[in-house]
Amino acid sequence: MSDFRAAQITIGGCLSRAIVPSLCSTIRLQRVALDWGDEPFLPQSADDLLAARQTIDGESVLRLLDAEARHGRMEPLEAFLRKRRIPFDLQTEAGFDGGETLTVYRPEIGECSLPLHDGELVTAALPVWEFAETLTAFRRQLYRGPRRQLRQQCDEVMQRFQRIIPVRPSPLPAFEIGKSLGLRRAA
């Protein structure tokens, strides 16, 4: 039995005009909408894509919605974007076969899935509690221990912290159509 659940994909980055026809075709085949309950978005041109952008977190991005995405994924569109190194965020509602998730793809780090609850990132409590205990012990050492030992403990605390917290993805860049392919490079 398939699990169908709501999903939204937000696309950023600077795309080459040469791939616009393929992107439009992939979006049409995916049968996604620009808003919940809308008819499918059927773009034919770069102008259609640019006109459909929305401002989210201060950037003009392309957001597409599917109320009944299989397993909360948009596989053909995701594959198209990954192959061309176009950054995206995919937020999926909880369903029969899994919880609510945010899948983040950035060309420079790849893809990672983060658990959500009511749209907010979730972190397991036990590693955080253990980290807090380590930090408390380190604080006690600040008043007693020699500097070299403190530096070593500080490094250990930071390494432990980095193991329990997922890598923070870069913000999604604006969705643009220009000459470069994939992620816009900073000058």
pLDDT at 167: 67
- Measured over the CA atoms of residue 84, residue 88, residue 94 and residue 99, the dihedral's sign is positive
Strands 88-92 and 59-70: unpaired
pLDDT at 117: 67
Taking residue 169's Cβ as centre, other Cβ atoms within 10 Å add up to 17
Cβ atoms of 27 and 9 closer than 8 Å: no
pTM for the model = 0.73
pLDDT at 182: 45
Cβ atoms of 170 and 13 closer than 8 Å: no
Residue 16 backbone dihedrals phi, psi, to 5 degrees: -75, 140
| pLDDT tens, N- to C-terminus, the chain (187 residues) | 568 888 999 999 999 999 999 999 999 999 999 999 999 999 999 999 999 999 998 999 999 999 998 888 899 999 999 999 999 999 988 766 667 788 889 998 888 877 666 766 667 677 778 777 877 877 777 777 677 777 787 788 788 777 777 667 788 899 999 855 444 444 3
Report domain extents, the chain.
Answer: 4-121+167-178, 125-164
Write the CB contacts of 85 (distance below 8 Å, at least 6 apart in sequence).
13, 107, 181, 182, 183
pLDDT at 181: 46
Q: Is 69 helix (H, G, I), strand (E, B) or coil?
A: strand
Q: Rounded distance, CA 107 to CA 15, Å? A: 13
Helix (H) or strand (E) holding 59: strand 59-70
